Amino acid sequence: MAMLSSVIRSGMSTLANSSSRGVSHVTVIGGGLMGSGIAQVAAQTGHKVTLVDLDEKVLSSSTSRISKSLSRVAKKKFGDDAEGAKSFLDSTMGAISTSTSAVSVVQETDLVIEAIVENMGIKHKLFTELDGAAPDNVIFASNTSSLPIEEIASVTNRKDRFGGLHFFNPVPMMKLLEIVKTPQLSDSTLDQLKAFGKAMGKTSVVCSDTPGFIVNRLLVPNLAEAVKMKERGVASTEDIDIAMRLGAGHPMGPLQLADYVGLDTCLFILQGWNAKYPEIEMFKPPATLEKLVSEGKLGVKSGEGFYKY
The answer to whether the beta carbons of residues 87 and 61 sit under 8 Å apart is no
Point out the catalytic residue in the list 47, 145, 146, 150.
Answer: 145
Confidence band of 284 (pLDDT split at 50, 70, 90): very high
Known catalytic membership, residue 216: yes
- With 0-12 / 13-18 / 19 or more C-beta atoms within 10 angstroms meaning exposed / middle / buried, residue 27 is buried
Known catalytic membership, residue 166: yes
- Of the candidates 52, 12, 48, 60, the residue with the CA atom closest to the CA atom of residue 35: 52
What is residue 80's predicted lDDT score, i.e. its pLDDT? Answer: 87
Confidence band of 39 (pLDDT split at 50, 70, 90): very high
Known catalytic membership, residue 204: no
Point out the catalytic residue in the list 178, 236, 274, 281.
Answer: 178
Strands, E assignment, 74-210: 96-99, 111-114, 139-142, 162-167, 176-181, 203-208
Confidence band of 21 (pLDDT split at 50, 70, 90): low
Known catalytic membership, residue 67: no
- Per cent of the chain over pLDDT 70 is 93
What is residue 22's predicted lDDT score, i.e. its pLDDT? Answer: 87
Point out the catalytic residue in the list 216, 225, 236, 295.
Answer: 216
Q: What is the mean pLDDT of the chain?
A: 93
In angstroms, rounded to a whole number, what is the distance separating the alpha carbons of residues 249 and 270?
A: 25
What is residue 260's predicted lDDT score, i.e. its pLDDT? Answer: 94
In this structure, the number of other CB atoms found within 10 A of the CB of residue 146 comes to: 19
State the average pLDDT over residues 245-273. 96
- Of the candidates 76, 35, 75, 42, the residue with the CA atom closest to the CA atom of residue 58: 35
State the average pLDDT over residues 42-64. 97
Kindly list the distances between the CA atom of residue 240 and the CA atoms of 231, 254, 263, 307, in Å, as whole numbers in the listed order.
12, 8, 17, 13
pLDDT tens-digit profile of 165-222? Answer: 999 989 999 999 999 999 999 999 999 999 999 999 999 999 999 999 999 999 999 9
- Of the candidates 264, 265, 260, 253, the residue with the CA atom closest to the CA atom of residue 226: 253
- Per cent of the chain over pLDDT 90 is 90
pLDDT tens-digit profile of 233-251? Answer: 999 999 999 999 999 999 9
Confidence band of 13 (pLDDT split at 50, 70, 90): very low
- Of the candidates 150, 27, 159, the residue with the CA atom closest to the CA atom of residue 95: 27
What is residue 10's predicted lDDT score, i.e. its pLDDT? Answer: 42
In angstroms, rounded to a whole number, what is the distance separating the alpha carbons of residues 150 and 159?
A: 8
Point out the catalytic residue in the list 47, 142, 143, 166.
Answer: 166
In angstroms, rounded to a whole number, what is the distance separating the alpha carbons of residues 177 and 166?
A: 6
- For residue 170, is the peptide bond before it cis, meaning its omega torsion is within 30 degrees of 0? yes
pLDDT tens-digit profile of 58-101? Answer: 999 999 999 999 999 999 999 989 999 999 999 999 999 999 99
Confidence band of 107 (pLDDT split at 50, 70, 90): very high
Confidence band of 146 (pLDDT split at 50, 70, 90): confident
pTM here is 0.87
